[in-house]
Amino acid sequence: MTTVVFRRPPRQPVPQLPRGELALESPPELPEALPRSMAQILLLLPMIAGGAAMAIMYSNRGGGVLTYVVGGLFGVSMLGMAAMSLGGNQGSKKAEVDAKRREYLRYLSQARRQARKAADQQRAALLWRHPPPSTLWSVPAAGRMWERRPSDNDFGEVRVATGGQKLAITIAPPQTRPIEDLEPLTAIALRRFVHAHSAVPDLPLAIALRAFSRVVLRGDRADVLGLVRSMLCQLATFHSPDDAVVAVVAAPELAAEWDWVKWLPHAQDDRRTDAAGAVRLVHDTMAGLEEALGDAVTARPRHAAEAPPLPGEPHVLVILDGGEVEPGCVLQGQGVLGSTVLDLSGNVPPDAGRWLLCLDVTPDAVTADRGDRSTPLGVPDRLTPVQAAAVARHLAPYRLSHHVDAEEATARVMELPELLGLHDASAVDPALTWRRRVPKDRLRIALGVGPDGGTIELDLKEAALEGMGPHGLVIGATGSGKSELLRTIVTSLAITHASDDLNFVLVDFKGGATFASLDALPHTSAVITNLAEELSMVDRMQDAISGEIVRRQELLRAAGNYVSRHEYERCLRLCDARQVVEVARLDDQRGVELGVPERRLEARDPLLDLLAGDDWRHPRNNTGRDPDERAHLHARPRRPQDGDAAPHARDRHHTPLRQLRRQQPGKQLHGRRPPPKRRPKPPPRHRAGSLRFRVMLSFPLPPGEGRVREN
């Protein structure tokens, strides 16, 4: 079979699940039935009195038919006015309730469209992550084969069923009055809306294999095998053989049902071969499998739900179907970190904990049994042996390429300890990370990874010192990672620079979550938060920072009218170098032993310039010195001069400085100072019983640069 090297492209953008909240308004309330007041009753008295007066007036007069007709009409009008005054308010209240009902039902129809749109978006996102098992054969053609990396959030997730899930957005019902005070029709409509749209039916459900070291499946064997085949094909399609390993431990009489697994590149051990090619990870005992995997399994720690994944190690999925399991196997029971055993025996161990998940499989449902509760998941997925073999044969020729493209480099997530070259963030040693840096590396930190896979650095020094700073501006929308970037910068500076050289003033105009817990750093001078509503505090903060800047300017001015700290440190090194040379010039008269520690010199370093002056002749003119060169000052025995007195026995090793050895890559240069002309010294006068004193002189060299000793 021909092998095809597959260069994994960067992962395609994943459709995002909807987020947010759908807050519903309260339905309208029924108008309260208020008792009639005395004013409404008194309004009837004038009408009643007027009607009675007209009846009496017309009854005492003789008249024709017209008189009775007019009196009757007058009486009817009086009764109508009385009825309108008593029942007119009821009609207006009913019309108002009808209008509010129509308005609220119109509002629910708009909210229903939002809920349905969110449900469709949720369905599309989940189906993209977990497509139906019957469509797995088409995933490689879509460019999505082996797209999941160990750093992805959905790494190790496999689909097991389809069922109802909660809507991704939260439907927040309103706080209402008792149901009897609400308008009945709108209250019923609100209840039906919440019940209908809080859950979305027929969505794929997946389990995270990283969270469990053992998954026990119980039920009819045909149903269980169909689900396991679907889970294996899901894992093999979206995870590369370098990131996931599949192995089978089956009894000899059941091994034929797992014959199709041999085609999966995840189930082949490329380190060993036989007549058929790479050795298949199919065994009849668990001990044989552990021996084949070796340290990839046996050297791992025990499984813990809260433990982070093992970096650089593949996740091992083992199917246990009747194979022999010895009591001493590391994959037995709780198992090891980064492994999951699919146990088809259906036996749940008595010491089961959070590391075990039990699935009860039936033709129509899958239920997760956690001992104290059972959770229905939905209709189980299944693949037939023919479908599973087709997927495995489709993946068989591919092997993952280890070439890293530029886009692949940026797609990889690199943690800060890895950027800084630290294997363990909890084992940071300030004695190593706070070592004094050369000027060009000060305030320079690793910030990220570029398209070529190289490290992107941020240099906060000013432009005159070949930096990018000192000021910067971070722009981004909410949730884009501005706070994460600021925490990365502060943490990187704190790890690589000592608190004597760098201090922080952390200002957060909001609640202070950006710099939470960074106040414990020894570099942090102050943490200022909650300034959004206190403009006066902003002015005080500005005054405090300005005062500190003025104080430092005054210190530099008092020290010698220096412009910056860089100029002050350069002059300090120059003064230190002059003191070293003066001591060296007096060595012949005092018997000085001068030891200057090895130090890193830059081009135009003042110490190198002074030691290479007129008093120290070099074989050639050293212009444009390499910044990486090193200088060593050594004391060697001095040849006696004419006229010198015989030295004391204890003074034979008190020799002057005579040699400068400069080491460059691939060559060594030696220079000597010609012996100075000096007058003969008188012989030393040592009286019997006299004492000799050892004196140690300390010069103000820069911190960490060593001492000069005089004996």
Mean pLDDT value across residues 240-263: 93
**What is the number of residues in the chain?**
711
Assess contact for 522 and 503: CB atoms under 8 A.
no
Which regions of 345-406 does DSSP assign to beta strands (E)? 356-361, 366-369, 374-380, 398-400
Q: Is the CB of residue 303 less than 8 Å from the CB of residue 214?
A: no
Q: How far apart are CA 615 and CA 657, in angstroms?
A: 12
Task: With cut-offs at 50, 70 and 90, classify the pLDDT of residue 86.
Answer: low
Higher-pLDDT residue of 414, 527: 527
Token couple for 683: 């012989």
The pLDDT of residue 406 is above 60: no
> For the segment 551-604, what is each residue's pLDDT rounded down to a tens digit?
888 888 888 888 777 777 777 666 655 554 554 454 444 444 444 433 333 434
Q: Predicted confidence band at 274 (pLDDT cuts at 50, 70, 90)?
A: confident
pLDDT at 606 over 50: no
Please give the Cα distance from 664 to 686 (Å, whole number): 46
CB distance 215 to 335 below 8 Å:
no
Residue 445 in contact with residue 492, Cβ under 8 Å?
Answer: yes
Neighbour tally for 258: CB within 10 Å = 22
Beta strands in 173-243 (DSSP E): 199-208, 214-219
- Return the pLDDT at 176: 84
d(CA 587, CA 581): 10
Mean pLDDT of the chain: 76
Share of the chain above pLDDT 70, in %: 69
Confidence band, pLDDT 50/70/90 cuts, at residue 645: very low
Lowest mean pLDDT among 63-77, 173-187, 668-682: 668-682
pLDDT of residue 504: 85
**Residue 200 clears pLDDT 70, i.e. is over it:** yes
The yes-or-no verdict on residue 152 having pLDDT over 80 is yes
Rounded to 5 degrees, φ, ψ at 421 are 80, 25
Which residues contact residue 635 at a Cβ distance below 8 angstroms, ignoring those fewer than 6 apart? 593, 594, 595, 655, 656, 657, 658
pLDDT at 415: 73
- C-alpha–C-alpha distance, residues 476 and 482, integer Å: 6
| Spacing of C-alpha 238 from chain mean position | 23
Mean pLDDT of 68-80: 68
Residue 356: phi, psi to the nearest 5?
Answer: -120, 140
**Element holding 75 (H helix, E strand):** helix 65-129
pLDDT score at 34: 56
Strand partners, 456: 448
Round to whole Å and give the CA distance between 293 and 300.
12
Strand partners, 368: 359, 375
Residue 536 has pLDDT above 80, yes or no: no
pLDDT of residue 353: 86
Residues 284-321 pLDDT 10s: 999 999 999 888 888 899 998 788 888 888 999 999 99
Q: What pLDDT, on a 0 to 100 scale, did the predictor assign at position 439? A: 78
Answer yes or no: is pLDDT of 167 > 90: yes
Mean pLDDT of 69-92: 65
The answer to whether 78 touches 52, Cβ cutoff 8 Å, is: no
Q: Label residue 211 left, alpha or beta by phi (over 0 means left) and psi (-120 to 50 means alpha).
A: alpha
| Burial class of residue 384, CB neighbours in 10 A (0-12, 13-18, 19+) | middle
Rounded CA separation 99/107 (Å): 13
pTM of the entire predicted model: 0.57
Residue with tokens 């398209």: 451
CB atoms within 10 A of CB 20: 10
pLDDT attached to residue 408: 54
Query: Higher model confidence: residue 443 or residue 658?
Result: 443
* Residue at 315: amino acid letter: H
Query: 111-115, 139-143, 479-483: lowest mean pLDDT where?
Result: 479-483
| Mean pLDDT of all residues in 350-377 | 89
The pLDDT, as a whole number, for residue 94 is: 81
Is residue 366 within 8 Å of 360, Cβ to Cβ?
yes
Over residues 696-708, the pLDDT tens digits come to 333 344 444 443 3
Distance of alpha carbon 236 from alpha carbon 226, whole angstroms: 16
DSSP 640: P
Phi, psi for residue 565 in degrees, rounded to 5: -65, -35
The residue among 370, 74, 365, 92 whose CA lies nearest residue 211 is: 370
For residue 674, what are the contacts with CB-CB under 8 A and spacing of at least 6? 617
Per-residue pLDDT band for 635 (boundaries 50, 70, 90) equals very low
